[in-house]
Amino acid sequence: MKANPKDVLTGVHYIDGDVASGYGILAAGCKFVAGYPITPSTETAETFARVAPKGNAMFIQMEDELASISAVIGASFAGVKSMTITSGPGYSLMMDAIGFGAMLESPFVLLNIQRGGPSTGAPTKTGQADMMQSRWGSHGDYEIIAISPDSPQELFDYTIKAFNLAEMYRCPVMIMSDECVGHMTEKVVIPPAEEIELEPRRLYDGPPSEYLPFKPDDDFIPKMAKAGAGYNLYISGHVHDERGYPVINEKFKSVYLRRLVDKIRRNKEKIIELKEEYTDDAEVIVVSYGISSRVAVRGIEKARKKGIKIGNLRLVTVWPFPDEKIINLAKTTKAFVVPEINHGQIAFEVERCCHGKANVVLVPHSGAGVHNPDDIYDAIVLAAKEKKKIEGIVEYKTKLEKLVFEGDYKLKE
């Protein structure tokens, strides 16, 4: 299915990531966005509110984030593509409903323009510390999809892809961007509508009396029906059988939860998108995502000039995690360097997949800024020099961190 020309602002734009995502939402055919203002994601909501009438879509500003995401799931079952936009504390408030959306197999998209935390933290500054929350934030067991764009162009492109993945796998899809990419202004090329491929909803077309809302197809994913069309849907956050009726016992819990998890895990190869270069014979591989992958480029180039065989693996899809890729690379490489704007989240996933076969160096950052590329370079040099296998994760002390530690947690003016 192609995008509707009315929804696509074809042309060359010079806009920031937030605005690009707003245009992406429209191009994806999304008809309902609910949100609550929170820095630094507001421009996306404002952009969509402004352009929505072009696509006969609407933006509603709800009373809080709990209401926003609940309305988005309601709209999803009313039969339209829907989405919410948030950041920081707003993301935390949405956790209950994210599990609800996963349980209901509700297709919707959530854009998180990550900011500094915890709590109010550094609202106007960048961060990448919600990555684990995006995977495990709601209670209970479930799988979701999370992608991490690194430019305004990608925020446009991957907003559309997020909707496609949500419809394909019937699950919440998170766009885990960050303040830096959100507020970075660059050239964004929006192609003509006929070049934008959209995934239509997997709708059931048989007789309503025979419809089972949670009967999976061969690929583990059930077909949907719209509310208000005579299907007598039964949609519940309880563990449910194929009719949607609550059945709370060990057997059904296993049948249902297993499928909820497997529909993502068994389709991993189709879902995961990575960008890699020179990883085949690399002695050190930088694993990064979002803004950190943009910053890492400079460190990588510097190391390459110094003759270090350096590979670059960029996680466009962060969840589901590319276990197999890391496991295979760990067999041939000496070390992974993982720069991220937190004190270790994805680095621990890399270490888990390494099984001690390669060293893992975390280049941490407390947020409110991005890495100094020289720190990433230094960490690469350190990793390349190291001859012995080091158990656990190696935390690289960046220049900023050394200043803090050596200053006894006090910064000299």
Partner 1 sequence: METLKTKKMKEVHPMENVLRMDRIPHIWCPGCGIGLAVTAFAAALEKAKIDLNKVAIVSGIGCTGRVAGYVKLDSFHTTHGRAIAFATGIKVANPDIKVVVFSGDGDLISIGGNHFIHAARRNIDMLVICVNNFIYAMTGGQVAPTTPLAVYATTCPFGSVEPPINIPYLADSSGAVYVARWTTLHIRRLTNSFIEALNKKGFSVVEVISPCPQYYSRVNRLGDGLDMMKFYHDNTEIRHGEDTKNLDIGFQSKIIMGKFIDRERPSYTERFD
Query: Residue numbers of the site for partner 1 (CB under 8 A)?
Result: 31-32, 34, 58, 60, 62-64, 66-68, 70-80, 82, 96-97, 100, 226-238, 245-246
Measured distance between the N- and C-terminal CA atoms of the chain, rounded to whole angstroms: 58
Report, in Å, the least distance between residue 235 CB and partner 1. Answer: 5
By C-beta, is 149 or 172 nearer to partner 1?
A: 172
Report, in Å, the least distance between residue 350 CB and partner 1. Answer: 34
Q: Nearest to residue 39, comparing CAs of 134, 95, 112?
A: 112
Neighbours of 142 (CB within 10 A): 20
Report, in Å, the least distance between residue 95 CB and partner 1. Answer: 11
Report, in Å, the least distance between residue 163 CB and partner 1. Answer: 15
Phi, psi angles (nearest 5°) of residue 46 = -65, -40
By C-beta, is 62 or 132 nearer to partner 1?
A: 62
Report, in Å, the least distance between residue 112 CB and partner 1. Answer: 19
By C-beta, is 233 or 381 nearer to partner 1?
A: 233
CA angle 273, 93, 234 (to 5 degrees): 80
CA distances from 284 to 103, 300, 331, 363, 382 (A): 40, 10, 12, 14, 10
CA distances from 91 to 133, 174, 295 (A): 9, 11, 25
By C-beta, is 96 or 386 nearer to partner 1?
A: 96
Asked whether the beta carbons of 89 and 66 are under 8 A apart, the reply is: no
By C-beta, is 9 or 235 nearer to partner 1?
A: 235
Report, in Å, the least distance between residue 284 CB and partner 1. Answer: 46
Q: How many CA within 13 A on the CB side of residue 332?
A: 13
Neighbours of 3 (CB within 10 A): 22
By C-beta, is 238 or 402 nearer to partner 1?
A: 238
